[in-house]
Structure 1
Amino acid sequence: MGIKLSQCFIAVDDHDKAIPFYRDVLGLEVRNDVGYENMRWVTVGSPEQPDVEIVLEPPLADPNATPADRQAVAELLAKGMLRGVIFTTDDVDATFERIRAAGGDVLQEPMDQPYGVRDCAFRDPAGNMLRFNQPRKG
């Protein structure tokens, strides 16, 4: 029995800010952007991985959530403490420069990590941490 990743979720507080960042800055495809009642289902993904998507979801999509729950989740999102995604790239330094030049919010410049990768980190418009890495050479 084989198991593969199909979708992962990342919370965004404004789809209209998130979509241009993921599409135009990161170069991901918008695969779905569908409204349904008071919800919006947006998925993005790399052209190199047609079977894997990131769902850009509201911070708390649970209709039974209390106002206090919604406030708590909004505060965690603003601090960048909900989720993160790690991307692999062929050239972390070039990726870093491209995202920074597009106005990306830099968390960490490229550096070699002791666990065998060179990586950098940014925040998306909602505050989520996005890391970009490549295997370290040598």
Structure 2
Amino acid sequence: MTLETAFMLPVQDAQHSFRRLLKAMSEPGVIVALHQLKRGWQPLNIATTSVLLTLADNDTPVWLAAPLSNDIVSQSLRFHTNAPLVSQPEQATFAVTDEAISSEQLNALSTGTAVAPEAGATLILQVASLSGGRMLRL
């Protein structure tokens, strides 16, 4: 079994990452930095790894798209978060993918309901950069 490292100070680093993620999700368009890790679990980058370490737990099934999934990522995620890994996107609370996600996979993600919107999946979309491309306005 090969494991990747997690946060050096698990409680403090997870709290810091959570505050940064809360800011980003509550203020659309705001870019935040997640620098608690020295490196991500390849092929996951630092930000994606930090999000999973901060939010995933034994109650949040995680789906990893094929390009971002390997044995080391799976073993490290299970060890550090105890999150169950699922093979289908419709089973996931957190879906981790890159720009290669298909429309079928995207449409399979749970959207929740009017009564329970929190039952919808959270899509974690890994990108190479947030700068250098076409400028968009929210």
Task: Give the greater-gyration-radius structure (CA).
Answer: 1
Higher strand share: 1
Bigger proportion of residues as helix? 2
User: Does the alignment reach a TM-score above 0.5?
Assistant: no
More relative contact order, 1 or 2 (CA 8 Å, 6+ apart): 1
Length-normalised TM-score, structure 1 = 0.26
